[in-house]
Structure 1
Amino acid sequence: MSEPVNLNRFRKAKAKSAAKTQASENRVKFGLTKAQKKLEAALRDKAASNLDSAKRDPD
C-alpha cells in the first residue's frame, strides 16, 4: 500500500506556483525602468510648479 498524500500541501503548492507566474507576468507588464520613473517624476514636478506659478495671490 502506498503512503497517504496530503492534498492540502499539493493544493497550496499549486496556488503558490500560479501566484509566482502571475507576479512575474505583472513585473514585465507593469514594471518601469528607473529612467522612466525619473522622467515621470520630473514631468509631475514641472506640472505642479507650472500650476503653482499660474495661481493668483488672494488680496
Structure 2
Amino acid sequence: MAEIVNLRQVRKQKARAAKEQAADRNRVLHGRSKAEKQRDRHAAESANTFLDGHRLDKDRT
C-alpha cells in the first residue's frame, strides 16, 4: 500500500523551503558591508561616466 501523506504538512514544508530560498537570495543582495556597497556604487558611477564620455551622439542627454 501507498504511504499516507498529510497534504497540509506537505504544503507547509514546501512554503518553508520557498521562504528559505528567498532568504538566501536576500542575504546575498542585502547582506553586504558598507565598504562593499560603496565599492560597487563607485564602480557603477565610474562605468557610467566612462560610457557617457565616449558617447558618439553628444546631442542626447
TM-score, normalised with respect to structure 2: 0.51
Shift in Å at residue 15 of structure 1?
0.7
* Runs of 4+, deviation exceeding 6 Å: none
Question: How many residues align structurally?
Answer: 52
Shift in Å at residue 38 of structure 1?
2.9
How many Å separate the matches in 2 of 1:12 and 1:41? 40
Aligned identity (percent) is 20
Shift in Å at residue 25 of structure 1?
3.3
Which structure features the higher share of helix residues? Answer: 1
2:21 corresponding residue in structure 1: 22
SS in 1 for 2:19: helix
1:45 corresponding residue in structure 2: 45
TM-score, normalised with respect to structure 1: 0.52
Q: Tell me, which stretches of 5 or more residues in structure 1 are unaligned? A: 1-6
RMSD: 2.9
